[in-house]
Amino acid sequence: MNTPSLEELLRSIQEKQLSVEDAMEKLKHFSYQDIGHTKIDHHRQIRTGYPEVIYCAGKTPRQVRDIFEAMLERNDNVIATRAGKEVYEEVSAAFPDAEYHDAARIITLNRNPLPRVKTYISVVTAGTSDMAVAEEAAITAGFFGNPVERFYDVGVAGIHRLQKNIAGIAGGRVVVVIAGMEGALPSVVGGLVDVPVIAVPTSIGYGANFQGLSALLGMLTSCASGVSVVNIDNGFGAGYIASMINQLK
């Protein structure tokens, strides 16, 4: 069941389809719903255009299931990130139509899929080891109604791989580039495409990589204009921002 907007509630009262008392009951949780361990912001989508997303890390499987139950009372679609399989097992026991994206560690429940926009998002990785973060970005962007084209393992260690794929990469309205080690790939891509590039440093790399810090600093100091940077391993954040850019009118 979708949450009625304030305008819909007011029209229902005007047309005498809803009593003032029933409207007040619906407005009781208009700002958020307190379920004890969590305060759920049901109307975030009205304010920002995107619904609340469940971040599972640090939550128990039962807590995540409780949040799913509360959100599904008012929304058709729910996405949860950083979810282990034990969390998915708990959620799927109550909602068998929930889907687990293993590489991305994301749970989606998509009962009323969002309309697809025509332009696509390119998701690019330097290496195969970066694919988990890339899939988090790709699944997030896809959930919010964006076509996604994947270009994996095209890093600077074999630059000819990038050259053979650059036309497809540049065809996206926005490009998400994921890289560990020294994090050079976003700078290279940023110098070859005429669309925004969102750089995602990963914690992949040997000791001097400092769990992604060297890649992060390299991307922040990129000489390529049009490159922005999200936090280390933050595929979700990159997919979310890419969706906002791709759906700009």
pLDDT of residue 1: 40
Around 180, how many Cα atoms within 13 Å sit in the side-chain half-sphere?
Answer: 22
Topology annotation, domain 121-246: Rossmann fold (3.40.50)
Q: What is the DSSP letter of 62?
A: H
Beginning with the edge strand found earlier in the chain, give each strand of the sheet holding 99-101 in spatial order. 54-55, 77-81, 106-110, 99-101
Domain coordinates in residue numbering, the chain:
31-110, 121-246
**CA 103, 106, 109, 113 torsion: positive or negative?**
negative
Per-10-residue mean pLDDT of the chain, 249 residues long, equals 62 81 66 75 75 91 92 85 95 93 94 89 96 97 96 92 94 96 94 96 92 94 93 96 93
Query: Long-range contacts made by residues 87-91, C-beta under 8 angstroms, separation at least 24?
Result: 87/56, 87/59, 87/61, 89/61, 90/61, 90/62, 90/64, 90/65, 91/61, 91/64, 91/65
Report the half-sphere exposure of 18 (CA within 13 A, side-chain side): 18
Report the predicted TM-score, pTM, of the whole model to 2 decimal places: 0.85
Token duo for residue 23: 């409207």
State the Cα–Cα distance between residues 199 and 123, nearest whole angstrom.
Answer: 10
Position of tokens 């007040």? 24
Inter-residue contact 66 to 89 (CB < 8 Å)? no
CA atoms within 13 A on the CB side of 126: 22
pLDDT reported for residue 18: 77
